[in-house]
Amino acid sequence: MAKAILFDQTICIGCRACEEACAKQNKLAYDENIAKIEKTSEYKFTSIVTLKGGGEEKYMRKLCMHCADPTCVSVCPVGALEKSKLGPVTYDEGKCMGCRYCMVACPFNVPKYEWSKAIPRVRKCIMCPDRVAAGLQTACAEACPTGATLFGERGALIAEAQRRIRETPGYVPRIYGLTDAGGTSVLIISSVDVEKFGYPANVGDKPMPYLTGDVLKGAPGLVTVGWAVLGGIWWITNRRETVAKVEKKEER
């Protein structure tokens, strides 16, 4: 069964335990200064965003939505991004050639690039695939002290979200991610429209890859040439690194 994350904005206390757990899981730096930055980045895969108003603060999580039919996967020419049957959209840096099509294609503006590094990678939440495969919770769900972040089977989480909306006053009557962009493996319920926290409003209910498919069909020559050129650059770069390693061994 496909797994998912359910985030309930109404019981999030903004403790940022999810951020710290995510950083530890992915071997990322994390301190007070990073905690203050309320956006995802190449070194921060999940972020708590604060909405102030009416004398109170409300908190929302931002992370990769792990679409059921991901656009990032559909545009990746080398298969560096892959959708797991269990739910996570994973990334293989060894295959990535740095074309950054995924960054342009993602309707949620999730993938980030390590611009400052000599050998940059695309970076994003990968939903703890090793933990998920082992039958464990994601690191963020395990760390959440209030149950604002839950991990489990997608169907069961949908039923739980529907129950909360039905039985508890104050929720916006909507599960964000249920059908948005064709459905996602991250589901959100909230007392405030999620768009106020920066989530896109008009992604539609149809999986996004149909758009990229139409575009690619419309310009097959351009795409073929573009991928060939990018593939050539990727091969040359990797070939150069391989040669350098061989030369270092010979010098020894």
pLDDT in tens, 149-205: 999 999 999 999 999 999 999 999 999 999 999 999 999 999 999 999 999 988 888
Is residue 82 within 8 Å of residue 92, measured between CB atoms? yes
Contacts of 65 (CB under 8 A, 6+ apart): 108, 110, 177, 180, 181, 184, 185, 186
Lowest mean pLDDT among 3-7, 91-95, 154-158, 246-250: 246-250
Is residue 148 within 8 Å of residue 162, measured between CB atoms? no
Q: Looking at the predicted structure, is the pLDDT value of residue 29 above 50?
A: yes
pLDDT single digits (tens) 7-22: 999 999 999 999 999 9
| Rounded Cα distance, 22 and 64, in Å | 12
Output the CA–CA distances (angstroms, integers) from residue 40 to 56, 71, 181, 196, in the order listed.
23, 19, 20, 16
